[in-house]
Structure 1
Amino acid sequence: MGTRLDRKIHPSPHRNVALFWAVAGALTALAVLPYALALNPQAAEELPLAVLVVGQPLQTFALIFLGGWLGLRLGEEIGLDSPFARSLVHGRPMPDHSRRRFGLAVALGVAAGLAILALERYVFGPLLPPAKSDLAQGAALWKGLLGALYGGIAEELLTRLVVMTGVTWALWRIAGRGRRPVPPWVYWTGIVVAGLAFGLGHLPVAAGIWQLVPIVVVRTVALNLVGAVGFGYLYWRWGLEHAMVAHFVADVVLRSVGM
């Protein structure tokens, strides 16, 4: 049994990884501000710019550090992890990987982005009410790409590492009774629940564009779920970094091709 001194000399194996991602997430929260202000110019009028520049990164840092540490700790029990960041932080050799896997992550991101665009144009677009405003109209491409960086890093950390891991672990402990190997349905449920939560989190943005009628809710949740299922699968099978790559690429497609 380790002593208190031992624990100080050998800190939690997850703390530094969580710190690494918290810093990265805070930087992307700062980088996304030009895009966020283009979507919602009133935010700069309601709060001083200095408050946004300091407050948003600090809030993101705290959420990712605390949630990420918990996600890494719980994920250790069910095989969900951030293997490349862990190796980098602890100075270990990088885990086995292949260009093919990252290539598949890129391909999945492109496919998800194009699928979302097609669904928006041909399925949901004709059913939507008149738009109150076009929030994305004033966002230059470079601002959208900064938004993609935030999506690929911060949103993946909060949605996959925190929410998906937490839901999957809870299902495994309660419904799966801690059986090993973890049943696949437990992972799939965690993937879908995290995807639904991610979609619901985009409703405030949708409410700024349309009246929040049922079709707008369905559209917002469904389109976000399209990518989330694929990203969650990559996280489960190959690690968080593959999900980040796919999410970033999907966002680049959406912001460069346009919705």
Structure 2
Amino acid sequence: MKQICKNAFKFVLIVLPFALVAGISIANYEIGTGGITEEILSQVSKTMVIASVTFQTVLYAAICGFIGYLLADKIGLLRSFAWSGSYLKKALAGGAICGVLFFLLDYLIFAKLLVPVAEYYETYTFSISYLLAKVLYGGMVEELMMRWFLMSLLILILWKIFARKTDKESIPVWIMMVSNIVIAVLFALGHLPATLVMFGYLNVLIVIRCILLNGSFALVFGRLYRKYGIQYAMVAHAVTHIICDVLFFLFWRL
């Protein structure tokens, strides 16, 4: 147990610099786009806002990274961190497909059905800062929270309830699949507050958009984590954001 805790601590030390950059990038983007209002900035300095957001991001990464490492080991999902070329290709391909599908569904379908989505693309501005935030926060911090920590925790709970007589190498596949689906739905629902801010209201179509665009692709990330390791889920998640933004940028310029 002592050695696994040491390894978990080393893992956290590796991911924290990325979480630091993610926090700073998100804070700067929110300030630049008005996500953090002038009213807030009149009461709290820009430096304090950036420090607060960054601290929160780093804290999430540290806690979920450490506990997630222990949980992944407990349930047999602590894979080798040595990169495999074949696994990496699958992660890159999965992320690219998710990115293209996200763009096609949102830009070519939901933008025709929902006026606020169309307005968003009409006023779209490509931002390197925001892309960096999405790649690092979405690709790493969210994966640490949702797959590494929460999905692992749910697998552990279901295993102990329904299959406690089996060892960690023999946890039933259905437990892995159910956990992936539940966490994907939770991940999607977690985007509802931001969706509400974007639209100003919620209806059935808006909720469907939120769950479809976020939950369905989260299933891909969860499967990559379960089959190959958390690093491949991170890569796919990051690539999804990159492909989306590249396509948005290209169509915005046309």
With normalisation by structure 2, the TM-score equals 0.83
Choose the corresponding residue for 1:134, options 93, 98, 120. Answer: 120
Secondary structure, aligned partner of 2:78: coil
1:145 pairs with 2:145: no
Tell me if structure 2 keeps the 8 A contact 1:40–1:135: no
CA distance in 2 between partners of 1:254 and 1:76 (Å): 33
Unaligned stretches of 5+ in structure 2?
none
User: In angstroms, what is the RMSD of aligned CA positions?
Assistant: 2.7
CA distance in 2 between partners of 1:129 and 1:56 (Å): 31
CA distance in 2 between partners of 1:248 and 1:28 (Å): 12
1:168 pairs with 2:155: yes
More helix by share: 2
CA distance in 2 between partners of 1:39 and 1:170 (Å): 41
In the TM superposition, what is the alpha-carbon distance from 1:148 to its structure 2 partner? 2.2
- The equivalences for 1:45-194 within 5 A come to 45-47=39-41, 48-81=45-78, 83-84=80-81, 95=82, 97-128=83-114, 130=116, 134=120, 137=123, 139-146=125-132, 147-177=134-164, 179-180=166-167, 181-194=170-183
In the TM superposition, what is the alpha-carbon distance from 1:19 to its structure 2 partner? 3.5
Report the equivalent of 1:219.
209
CA distance in 2 between partners of 1:10 and 1:232 (Å): 23
CA distance in 2 between partners of 1:44 and 1:238 (Å): 45
Q: Percent identity?
A: 26
Report the equivalent of 2:192.
203
Secondary structure, aligned partner of 2:198: coil
1:15 pairs with 2:9: yes
Report the equivalent of 1:26.
20
In the TM superposition, what is the alpha-carbon distance from 1:126 to its structure 2 partner? 3.7
Report the equivalent of 2:235.
245
1:79-122 CA-to-partner distances (Å, cap 9, x unmatched) read 223632xxxxxxxxxx3x43222111111101011112222245
Tell me if structure 2 keeps the 8 A contact 1:164–1:190: yes
Where has structure 1 moved over 4 Å in runs of 4 or more?
129-133
Report the equivalent of 1:230.
220
Unaligned stretches of 5+ in structure 1?
85-94
Tell me if structure 2 keeps the 8 A contact 1:75–1:169: no
CA distance in 2 between partners of 1:141 and 1:241 (Å): 25
Tell me if structure 2 keeps the 8 A contact 1:132–1:208: no
In the TM superposition, what is the alpha-carbon distance from 1:184 to its structure 2 partner? 0.8
With normalisation by structure 1, the TM-score equals 0.82
In the TM superposition, what is the alpha-carbon distance from 1:59 to its structure 2 partner? 1.1
1:137-182 CA-to-partner distances (Å, cap 9, x unmatched) read 4643312321223211111111111111111111111122252301
Aligned residues: 242
